[in-house]
Structures are given as structure tokens and as C-alpha cells.
Amino acid sequence: MRTLELLKRTPARLAAQFTAIFIATTLILFAAIFVGTTARLETDIRKRVNETITALANLSSERGLEQLVPVVVNESASMRDSDFVFELDSDDGSFLAGNVRGVPFAQNWLRLKRSDIFLTIERGRPDDEFFAIWRTLPKGRLLVGSSNREVRKMQAFLLEVLGYAVSLIVVLFIAGATYLARQAQHRIDDFSTTLDHVSQGDLTARVPMSGHGDDIDQIGAQINRTVAKLQRLIANVNQASSDIAHDLKTPLGRVRQKLEITDRADVTTAELKSAVDTAMIDLDGISQTFDALLRITQIEAGARKSRFVDLDLQSVFDDLLDAFQAVAEDANCTLSCERRPDGPAHIRGDRELLMQLFANLIENALRHCPPGTDIAIALDRIGTTYRATVSDSGPGIPVSERENVFRRLYRIERARTTPGSGLGLSLVAAIAELHDARIDLGDNNPGLRVEITFPGLAHA
């Protein structure tokens, strides 16, 4: 049962597959060495036989067949060349000398088994084989052959080495693969444990990193980013629910109070109409708040990414200047623009949402800054990114409040007397995140400086 459970695990299966592949590769490599070495040794044997038979044939040509007979007799009986076989016959096929006889004549190489030939001198092993060839001589013919014993010794040695090597390789490789599989399984278990904790509501759980920076670490980091984003979204939803209950309670109570007073008192038609108009204004404000919340939720869900196109931030800034310069003058403020990229600032995004982002920042500056404030928008290129800046010379935002202002429905104390729902910067943050942009709040000395860094297009 435990074996079946082990085989169901991906690292164990991969280890087994790699072990099989490695063993198969080793066997193929050994087979190539085995065949190549055998062929080389057999070639050497044939070369040695050719050299011997050529030397004897030259002796026969120089001294005659009769002088060759005692040489063949001596060579046949020599212990120095115990692996050689010789047969010297006359033209009529009569046996003259040698340690084998009766070998059929052939033009090509012969492979003779000891069991198939008649040996005049018994020595060697029954399983010996010989590579032999006939050579025609004046008045006769000569056979010379040599045993393949060294080939068989080499083959036996290689097979023995293979047995030990494969056994050792299998043991080491299985041990190593098992160790690596266990390490991989531990990391997979970390993924499973983390996701199990997340599914049970523990959004603080994270996949531990090994620090190797490998592909598993990259997947773990991606899961951690996803869980972190989920944690932020749920925190935003919880905070928004609390903020909605808190912030909408006052206008709803005010509407109810006005309606109750109107209902209980004797009022004129004009007074009744005024109370209804005031209640409708409050209800419109509540409706706008819900519309803004819904818009932020849709943006955070990423649905608007399907509308992304390649666009130029320079043209967005042109439209901003056209739309807000007159508005700034009416508020007794100045709006200036500085652009330092030499050419177009190409990014991928939603033009309507980007206009909304910068419009919210400029409107916030106009709403919360006193007359005479200087508002500036700027665009810089930094490496492969573009940095858009909206700055003003107003009162700014305290450092302790800069993280809070991105929360939905949050308003700093001094801004509660001005119109607004506390959703402007929440919408800015949602649009920036949708565009994979980084948003930073800083001091403009005096005033607020908002920097948004967009990734540029690779081909730009």
C-alpha cells in the first residue's frame, strides 16, 4: 500500500523515470563500447593473421614449398603462438603440415569453431573460435588462423564491469533520486499546507522560500503574491463594509430625521418640497458613493484589462491640460505641465481609467488646497519606466495618514468639512494597481507629491 501511495507522488514517479532513462542510457553507451571494442580486436586479429600468412607465403615463394613445411611444423607446435592454427596442403589436397587438417578451402575469411575442426594437437578450450583465411601458394595452399580468445576475455571483462557498474549506478541513482524526490515532496507539501491554511481562512499563511531562486521558488512567490493580494482585497472588503456602515449611517439618519420632522409638523408645500429636495440630494450622494464603490470593485477584479491598448501618456497629459487649466484658473490656482521624454511615452492601459486617475488627483488638489496654490503635472522617463507626478504647494498629507488615505471612505480630519466621499484616492490606487504601476506619496516642500511609475512597452 505504501508503495502504491509513493508511486502516486509526482517526485517519486519522476525519480523512477529518470532512473530508468539513466540506466537505458548507460546500457546503450555500454553496447556501443562493447560492439566497438569487439570490432577493433577482431580487426587486430585479422591483421595479425594477414601478417603471418604473408610472411609464410613470401618464404614459400623464395625457398619453395618444401622449405615451408618444417617452418609450419615448428609454428604449429610452438607454445609461443598457441592461439594460432595452421594447415599446409599440396595442390592435390594432401596434408603436408599443421595443427589442423581437413578445413574446407574458401576465398574469404572463415570463422572456425574448435568443435568443428580436427586438431592434430589438443590444447586450448572447447569453446575457442578462430578467424582463418586460405592463401594459394605455388604448388600448394596455406591456412592460417588465430583464436578470438582475447575478444572473449574482453567481452567477459566488460560484462562483469557492466554488472558491477549498473548495480552501483542503480543504488546510487535511486538513493540520490529518492533524496531529491523527498526534498521536492517537502516543498510540494509546503504548497499544500499553505493552500490548506488559506482555504480555512488563514490568509497570513505563506509558502516558505528555499532561497535557491529556482522555478519552484518562483511558483511559491507567485502563490504568495496571490494570497497577499487576496488578503488585501478581503481586508478592503471588511474595511469597506465597516466604513460603509459608519459613513452612510449619518446621511441616512439625517434623511430620516428630516422626513420625520416634516411628517410631524404642519408645514407648507414649499417647506415640504425643500425637505424632499434636501433628502434627494442626500440620497443622490449615497447613490454616488455606491457607484464609486462598485467601480473600484470592478477595477480591482481586473475586468477592465480586456480593454487595454497601446497608448501614449503624452496625449493623456494633453487632454488633462485642456480639461483642467480653465478649472484651475476659476479656482485661482495654476496648473503647469513639464514633460521630459524625447518621444512618445508608450504604455499599455485603459485611456479612460488613466484620465480618471489623474483627474482625481488634480481635483483633490483643487478641492483641498487654498487659492493661489501651484499644481504641477510632470512626466519623466526612467530606464524602461515612465514616472508621472502630480504635485501641489498646499497643506499636504501627514506622513502618518499616507497609508490610510488609500482606504475606501477614509478621510483625514481636516478634510471632513469639504465635499467628498473618501473614495477618490481609493480609485486612484485601484487604477494604478490594474496598470501594474507603483504609487508613492511624498513631500513637495510644501505640499503633496504623488508619483506613479508605469512600466513601459518592451518595443517602445
Residue range 170-179: mean pLDDT, rounded = 76
Residues 24 and 147 in one domain: yes
Burial 430-458 (b: 16+ CB within 10 A, else e): bbbbbbebebebeebeebbbbbbbbebee
Which one of 22-36, 174-188, 229-243, 263-277 scores highest in mean pLDDT? 22-36
Residues 443 and 316 in one domain: yes
Q: Which residue has the higher pLDDT, 291 or 352?
A: 352
Residues 318 and 240 in one domain: no
pLDDT in tens, 119-137: 766 666 667 788 999 999 9
* Structure confidence at residue 21 (pLDDT): 85
Q: Shortest CA distance to 377 belongs to which of 303, 310, 452? A: 452
Cell of 389: 507626478
Do you know the residue count of the chain?
A: 460
Q: Which residue has the higher pLDDT, 206 or 262?
A: 206
Residues 240 and 281 in one domain: no
Number of H helices, E strands in the chain: 10, 14
Residues 233 and 261 in one domain: no
Q: What CATH number does the domain containing 343 carry?
A: 3.30.565.10
* Phi, psi (rounded to 5 degrees) for 212: -80, -20
Residue 418 in any domain: the answer is yes
315 alpha-carbon distance from chain centroid: 37
Residues 319 and 451 in one domain: yes
Residue 175 in any domain: the answer is no
349 pLDDT above the threshold of 60: yes
pLDDT in tens, 270-305: 767 777 777 777 676 666 666 666 666 667 666 677
> Amino acid identity, residue 250?
T
Residue range 21-33: mean pLDDT, rounded = 87
242 pLDDT above the threshold of 70: no
Residue 170 in any domain: the answer is no
Domain count, the chain: 4
Q: Which residue has the cell 504647494?
A: 393
- Kindly write down the DSSP assignment for every residue of 415-444, as one continuous string: GTTSS--S-HHHHHHHHHHHTT-EEEEEE-
Q: What is the overall mean pLDDT for the chain?
A: 81
Boundary residue ending a domain (301, 323, 338): 301
> Could you list the residue range(s) of the whole structural domain that residue 277 is in?
248-301
d(CA 375, CA 328): 9
Task: Give the E-state strand segments of 235-344 in sequence order.
Answer: 309-312, 334-339
Residue 76 in any domain: the answer is yes
Residues 241 and 260 in one domain: no
Residues 328 and 441 in one domain: yes
All residues at 6 or more sequence positions from 50 whose CB lies less than 8 Å from its CB, including other chains: 133
Residues 344 and 278 in one domain: no
Residue percentage of the chain with pLDDT more than 70: 80
All residues at 6 or more sequence positions from 451 whose CB lies less than 8 Å from its CB, including other chains: 387, 388, 389, 439, 440, 442
Residues 280 and 320 in one domain: no
Residues 263 and 394 in one domain: no
* Structure confidence at residue 50 (pLDDT): 92
Confidence of residue 6 (pLDDT cuts 50, 70, 90): low
* Structure confidence at residue 275 (pLDDT): 72
* Structure confidence at residue 379 (pLDDT): 92
430 pLDDT above the threshold of 70: yes
pLDDT in tens, 393-428: 888 888 888 787 777 666 665 455 555 566 778 888
d(CA 240, CA 135): 105
40 alpha-carbon distance from chain centroid: 46
Residue 173 in any domain: the answer is no
Residue 193 in any domain: the answer is no
pLDDT in tens, 59-107: 888 888 888 889 988 888 875 556 788 989 998 888 999 888 888 888 8
Boundary residue ending a domain (275, 301, 327): 301
Please check whether residue 320 is in contact with residue 328, taking contact to mean a CB–CB distance below 8 angstroms: no
Q: Shortest CA distance to 314 belongs to which of 280, 278, 351, 279? A: 351
The predicted model scores a pTM of 0.49
* Structure confidence at residue 1 (pLDDT): 41
pLDDT in tens, 175-221: 776 777 777 778 778 888 888 888 888 888 888 887 777 777 888 88
Residue 195 in any domain: the answer is no
pLDDT in tens, 138-167: 889 999 998 888 888 888 888 888 888 888
Residues 448 and 317 in one domain: yes
* Total Cβ atoms within 10 A of residue 170: 14
Residue 388 in any domain: the answer is yes
Q: Which residue has the higher pLDDT, 135 or 342?
A: 135
Q: Which residue has the higher pLDDT, 372 or 15?
A: 372
